[in-house]
Amino acid sequence: MTDLISIARSLVAPGKGLLAADESTHTAVKRLASYGIETSEEMRRQYRDLFLGTPGVEGYLSGVILYEETLGQKGDDQKLFPKSLIDRGIEPGIKVDQGTEPFPESSDELITSGLIGLPERLAAYAKTGTTFTKWRAVITIEGDTLPSAQAIHENARRLASYAKEVQAAGMVPILEPEVLLDGKHSRERAKEVIRETLSTLFTVLDEHAVDRSGVILKTAMALTGAASQKKDTPEEVAEATVEALMAAVPREVPGIVFLSGGQSPDEATENLAAIAKRAHEKGAPWPLTFSYARALQEEALSIWKGKAENVPAARAAFLERLKKVSAASRG
Ligand code: 13P
């Protein structure tokens, strides 16, 4: 268990955070297409190498969440990606859920699958050097009707079963119940849903005897729904987010990381800075940092466009964003 605690602590080391580079093949194809990039397995390898091969990322990244296909691919340095990260002091992690499907009890909501065969997959992943894992559940807000208590509970139950298996395999589970930004809901409603989702999660984790000191929580920020015309100030986001976390997350949890969820790179950076500052003022017990996919990748992808000659400029933009987000995590 000491090992789990030290891995978890290193993931939230001061000034560092995570790159979520764990888009499934389906998502990667869609994401790259939105930048006019056609994908093949080789193109996805180049896409990963654009980020993982950027010189200097070890100054800002404590870990990278990988997708299964990437574990077996090599960077331009001719090393397998997990090995290349380890050699630079970055923890390689792996997304282990297998995506979402409609929840039979409430068909407008989603439930995450991936528990079947999980112990065997974990044993195989551990051999590649991965030290932590991620499971994403999705919580949908729809007025006052969704999320349903059943969807929150069943997603929590699966997160707990996942966490138990991962700890038994000697890796740190990242628990990501993502409350979606989609919709017209208020920031107050998002805050309440995050609080309720996390309270349920930690109750169910206890029932499954998951060690709280060997997990990392990954959460959304409390934001007004994207379909609403209203924009929150970073101070408003910080106030609501820190309140939800203080009400629901036990102090033994070694760290909390945020997803960007569709915010622009600047919004995700400014909101993180305000949250870190507010958490400090409120005496929050956990280190807080980033675990972004889109907000870290967006600027670089729009420069890269899949062309070798654009790699240096794209990497410079990525490094610049990492510097800003790292500074933000310090408040
Ligand atoms: P975004 O930062 O793009 O929301 O992605 C984070 C993530 O890991 C989603 O599962």
Burial category of 164 from C-beta neighbours within 10 Å (exposed 0-12, middle 13-18, buried 19 and up): middle
pLDDT score for 229: 86
Could you tell me the pTM of the whole model?
Answer: 0.98
| Span between the terminal Cα atoms of the chain, in Å | 30
Q: Can you tell me the mean pLDDT for 167-182?
A: 98
Give the count of beta carbons closer than 10 Å to the beta carbon of residue 87.
11
Reported as a single tens digit per residue, the pLDDT across 187-201 is 999 999 999 999 999
Give the number of the atom of ligand 1 that is nearest the alpha carbon of residue 218.
8
Answer whether 294 contacts ligand 1 (Cβ < 6 A): yes
Domain holding 71: CATH number?
Answer: 3.20.20.70
**What is the C-alpha separation between 275 and 60, in angstroms, rounded?**
19
User: Within a 10 A sphere around the Cβ of 89, how many other Cβ atoms?
Assistant: 12
- Cβ atoms of 191 and 243 within 8 Å: the answer is yes
The finding on whether 290 has its CB within 6 A of some atom of ligand 1 is no
* pLDDT at 159 exceeding the cut of 80: yes
20 lines ligand 1 (CB under 6 A): yes
How many CA atoms within 13 Å lie on the side-chain side of 67?
19
Q: Which atom of ligand 1 is nearest to the CA of 65?
A: 8
Report the candidate in 20, 4, 8, 11 with the shortest Cα–Cα distance to residue 220: 20
* Residue 88, φ and ψ in degrees, nearest 5: -105, 15
Which residues lie across from 137 on neighbouring strands? 177
Structural domain boundaries enclosing 134: 4-329
Q: Tens of pLDDT along 96-145?
A: 999 999 999 999 999 999 999 999 999 999 999 999 999 999 999 999 99
Q: Which residues are catalytic?
A: 176, 218
Q: How many domains does the chain have?
A: 1
